[in-house]
Structure 1
Amino acid sequence: MAIHDHHEHAGNDLTRAAQTTLEKSGEQWTSMRERVFEALAGFDKPASAYDIAEAVSKAEGRRVAANSVYRILDLFVGANLVRRVESANAYVANAHPDCLHDCIFLVCDSCGQTTHIDDDAITKTVRSAAKNTGFSPVRPVIEVRGKCADCD
């Protein structure tokens, strides 16, 4: 199995890595973007835009609209700071925003825990299969639904 090696960031180091990556893409790291990113990174499971808006609203002491959070999340996904778990319509902070590659998510149907793994051999095969049909893959999303070790 071809595992993709990278340095995973956490805590303040993750926020700094996200800021650096976003600024390298030509975008500004605003205080609201930082709050959204930190709120998302604080969740132990994928979070919806509404979950994030609620967390930021509590921290700010004022209402933050989910629409504003969605716009920021769209920017973050495009800049590789955040990954969208399609089947859950939720987001997770990318622990290695300075490394661009395809991801595989293992999603527990019981508790919602989502584990991110990298396997370049699998994602290369998926991209190749798509190309063989004349399809141009931009960003494959691979999600495996089941039960995590804690729920099994």
Structure 2
Amino acid sequence: MAHTHDHRIADGAELALQAQHALEKAGEQWTPMRANVFAALAAFGRPASAYDVAESISRSEDRRVAANSVYRILDLFVAKNLAQRVETANAYVVNAHPACRHDCIFLVCDGCGETTHIDDDVLTDSVRRAADRAGFTPIRPVIEVTGRCHNCAAN
């Protein structure tokens, strides 16, 4: 059975406020551009690339936003636990509990791209211990399982 810890999943304005507080607590500024990137990423509801986010902001602000600027912000968000990178999709998702730092597991559907985030500290702690035994110091384990979601598997 998976060990879980208490954290509350937020969304909308509450999630943006939690992200802002977490970023400021980390000594960074919550700029209008960072707020726009976070809001755009959160609105996708699926993993989104920097290009997706840049295009979304460009449309909403009727001005061109460069993907390289978005990449820098997304990298900061990952470093400060506001977003997570889904490696197999080369994309990002918002962290729905930015005040809670732990390793995550992503289930990525090969059919529709839906990505589900699950927490299993027993499993991720085991991965960290195995890395330690191999003489490797893990920084941020990334565990992704590709397959078919319930809807795609039924079709």
> TM exceeds 0.5?
yes
Equivalent pair of 1:4/1:119 in contact (CA under 8 Å):
no
Alignment partners' CA distance in 1, 2:84 and 2:124: 16
* 1:66-145 aligned within 5 A: 66-145=67-146
Partners of 1:98 and 1:5 in 2: CA distance: 11
Q: Contact 1:80 / 1:97 at 8 angstroms: preserved in 2?
A: yes
> How far, CA to CA, are the matches of 1:4 and 1:88 in structure 2?
27
Deviations 1:27-56 (A, max 9, x none): 000000000000000002100000000000
Letter of the 1:145 counterpart: T
State the Cα RMSD in Å: 0.6
1:116 aligned counterpart, secondary structure? strand
Q: Read off the aligned partner of 2:39 and give its amino acid letter.
A: E
Q: Does 1:22 align with 2:62?
A: no
Residue identity over aligned pairs, in percent, reads: 65
Work out the number of aligned pairs and report it: 152
Give the letter for the 2:76 counterpart. L
User: Counterparts of 1:145 and 1:139 in 2: how far apart (Å)?
Assistant: 19
Task: Identify unmatched segments of 5+ residues in structure 1.
Answer: none
Stretches of structure 2 that go unaligned for 5 or more consecutive residues are: none
d(CA) in 2 for partners of 1:143 and 1:65?
29
- Give the whole-Å Cα distance in 2 for the aligned partners of 1:78 and 1:46: 17
Residue 5 of structure 2 corresponds to 4
For residue 102 of structure 1, give the secondary structure of its aligned residue in structure 2: coil
The C-alpha deviation readout for 1:1-31, integer Å capped at 9, x for no partner, is 2123311110000000000000000000000
TM-score when normalising by structure 2: 0.97
User: What letter corresponds to residue 37 of structure 1 in structure 2?
Assistant: F
- The answer to whether structure 1 residue 31 and structure 2 residue 32 are counterparts is yes
Looking at structure 1, the residues matched to 30 and 151 of structure 2 have their Cα atoms a distance apart, in angstroms, of: 37
Q: Structure 1 residue runs of 4+, over 6 Å off?
A: none
CA contact (8 A) 1:9 1:96 kept: yes
Summarize deviations over 1:78-135 as a string: whole Å, max 9, x none: 0000000001100000000000000000000000000000000000000000000000
